[in-house]
Amino acid sequence: MHLHKLTTHNFAFEAGGSLDQLEIVYHTSEREYQQGERVVWLCHALTANSDPLDWWPEMVGDGCCIDPNKDYVVCVNIFGSAYGTAGPRDFGNRDSRIPNQKGYLDFPKFTVRDTARLFTLVREHLGIEQVDLLVGSSIGGFHALEWAIMEGERIRRAAFIATAPRVSPWLSAWMEVQRMALEADPTFHACESLDGGRKGLEAARAISLISYRSFDGYNLTQYETDDDCLFASRAASYERYQGEKLVKRGFDAYSYYYLLHCVDSQNVGRHRGGIKTALAQIKAQTVVIAITSDGLFPPCESSEWAKHIPHAKYYEIESRFGHDGFLLETEQITQIINSLEVKG
pLDDT-derived band of residue 334, with 50, 70 and 90 as boundaries? Answer: very high
What's the pLDDT score for residue 220? 87
What's the pLDDT score for residue 102? 66
Average pLDDT, the chain: 94
d(CA 25, CA 48): 13
Residue spans of alpha helices (H) in the chain: 52-55, 112-126, 139-150, 169-184, 198-212, 215-222, 234-248, 253-263, 275-279, 299-305, 325-328, 330-339
CA separation (Å) from 320 to 138, 150, 253?
17, 34, 30
Residue-wise pLDDT for 46-80, tens only, equals 999 999 999 999 999 999 999 999 999 999 999 99
**83 within 8 A of 122, measured Cβ to Cβ:** no
Residues recognised as catalytic:
138, 294, 323
What's the pLDDT score for residue 186? 94
**67 within 8 A of 53, measured Cβ to Cβ:** no
d(CA 247, CA 269): 35
Residue-wise pLDDT for 153-187, tens only, equals 999 999 999 999 999 999 999 999 999 999 999 99
d(CA 342, CA 329): 24
CATH code of the domain made up of 171-263: 1.10.1740.110
Q: What is the mean pLDDT of residues 329-342?
A: 88
Residue-wise pLDDT for 231-277, tens only, equals 988 899 999 999 999 999 999 999 999 999 999 999 999 999 999 99
What's the pLDDT score for residue 99? 47
pLDDT-derived band of residue 132, with 50, 70 and 90 as boundaries? Answer: very high
Does 171-263 match 2-168+267-339 at the fold level?
Answer: no
CATH 3.40.50.1820 fits 2-168+267-339, yes or no: yes
Per-domain residue ranges for the chain?
2-168+267-339, 171-263
